[in-house]
Amino acid sequence: MATGDFDDRSARRYFPLLIGLEALLLAAWFAPPGHPFEGMKGYLPLVIILEFFPVVVAFMVFGIAWNAHSTEQPVAVTILGCALLAVGLIDLVHMLSFPGMPDFVTPSGEEKAAYFWLTAHLIMAVALFAVAFRGAGPLKSPKSRHGLLVAALAL
């Protein structure tokens, strides 16, 4: 028998899983329609949960790139790490500027949130462009590493 072939015993092993999935499908089919997200404020907890994960990942990548520094490390790692710090900070502000959130300097709104989202993605695109067209060598001076960090925080 070939490796990918099934016999009767292995097919019976998946039978409870198929019954469970069918029961889940029928339960969803016959469930009364619900509207858990009424209006824009109903989406706020979902947005916070979904936006928090990329912020944490961006900060983690920055932390790894910054702390794994050595004199032989390619400059691309430092550029991407600092860019992801800026993107994480801007995404955090983006998350705080959705309608329904308290006012953050100016009143929250869809347009303000969209501007922060576009800014974060523009910074990441510029960083990827810089990495693609920059040499793969290490940084020429240690001060330029700190200059990249200051630039990321200034953004």
Instruction: Please report the pLDDT score of residue 2 as a whole number.
Output: 54
Cβ-Cβ contacts under 8 Å for 127 (sequence gap 6 or more): 79, 80, 82, 83, 84
Give the residue with greater pLDDT, 40 vs 100.
Answer: 100
pLDDT in tens, 105-153: 788 778 888 899 999 999 999 999 988 987 777 777 777 777 888 888 8
Segment 141-154, tens digit of pLDDT: 777 777 888 888 88
pLDDT digits (tens, 9 = 90+) for 74-93: 888 888 999 999 999 999 98
Three-point CA angle 77, 83, 86, nearest 5°: 145
